[in-house]
Amino acid sequence: MKENGKQKTAGLFLVLHVSLLMSSLSGVCSKMAANQKSLIGFALWYGGVLLIMVLYALIWQQILKHLPLTVAYANKPVSLIWGMIWGTFIFGEKITWNMILGALIIFGGIYLVVTADE
C-alpha cells in the first residue's frame, strides 16, 4: 500500500513538472510573438501563449488538489531553468556560471522544502 502511494506521488510530480515545462514554453511563444513583423504572426504566437496558459491553469488546479501547496509552489522555479534551456537552444543565448549557480540554489531549495515534510 505504501509503495502505491509513492508511485502516485511520483506520478503527480511528473505531471507537475510537465505542466511547468508547458508554462515555460509560453515564454518562448511570447518572445516569438514579440519578434513578429505581421499582425497575423503575432496573433498566432500570442494565441499559443493563451492556449498553453489555459492548459497549464487546468493542470495546476488538479495538482493543487493532490499535493500540498508548499510543495507545488516550491517546484515552480523550475520553469526558470527551462527558460534558460529554451533560451540557449531556440534563441542562441549563453548560459553563464551565475545562471548555473542560481539553478543549483533553486534545486537545493526545492529539495529542502520537499524533504522537510518527511
86-100: pLDDT as tens digits: 999 999 999 999 999
Q: Left, alpha or beta for 12 (phi > 0: left; psi -120 to 50: alpha)?
A: alpha
Q: What confidence score (pLDDT) does residue 81 get?
A: 85
Mean pLDDT, residues 17-33 taken together: 94
Give burial (CB, 10 Å; 0-12/13-18/19+) of 14.
exposed
Q: In 3D, which of 54, 66, 58 has the Cα closest to residue 29?
A: 54
Grid coordinates representing 105 are: 540554489
Q: What does pTM read for this prediction? A: 0.77
49-97 pLDDT tens trace: 999 999 999 999 999 999 888 888 888 888 888 999 999 999 999 999 9
> Percent of the chain scored above 90 by pLDDT?
58
